[in-house]
Amino acid sequence: QQQVKQSPQSLIVQKGGISIINCAYENTAFDYFPWYQQFPGKGPALLIAIRPDVSEKKEGRFTISFNKSAKQFSLHIMDSQPGDSATYFCAASKNNQGGKLIFGQGTELSVKP
């Protein structure tokens, strides 16, 4: 049973555009929602994370929007750059088990110059 569903599987965006990746979860016990960025041949790196007590969190060009009632959250990358080309994973964990994450399937983002 896939507890975190991520879409789209791949995304192509022009430089300067907005990249949007969506995730939906099933378990209402989840209380921590991070996004990880992974470059080829490297391990994932934490990009930004949110808890359900807020609806939005912004760090630089990266924003998480969170909709608790719909059990959905999304990553927005503003002014997308070629250097943002990577695979992005959403994830979730519950009950203070912050590092024991359930990951989405990943989105391969390509930003064209």
Specify the residue, 99 or 113, whose C-beta has the smaller distance to other proteins.
99
The nearest distance, CB 12 to other proteins, in angstroms, is 17
The nearest distance, CB 6 to other proteins, in angstroms, is 7
Residue 9, phi then psi, degrees to nearest 5:
-70, -35
Specify the residue, 76 or 94, whose C-beta has the smaller distance to other proteins.
94
Pairing of strands 102-103, 30-38: unpaired
Specify the residue, 46 or 78, whose C-beta has the smaller distance to other proteins.
46
User: Distance between CA atoms of 102 and 60, rounded to whole angstroms?
Assistant: 26
The partner residues of 59 in beta bridges, in order of sequence, read: 62
Kindly list the residues in this chain that would bind other proteins in the complex (CB under 8 A).
4, 6, 32, 34, 41-46, 49, 89, 91, 93, 96, 98-106
User: Distance between CA atoms of 74 and 19, rounded to whole angstroms?
Assistant: 10
Specify the residue, 33 or 63, whose C-beta has the smaller distance to other proteins.
33
The nearest distance, CB 113 to other proteins, in angstroms, is 25
Residue 83, phi then psi, degrees to nearest 5:
-70, -10
Inter-residue contact 88 to 107 (CB < 8 Å):
yes
The nearest distance, CB 27 to other proteins, in angstroms, is 14
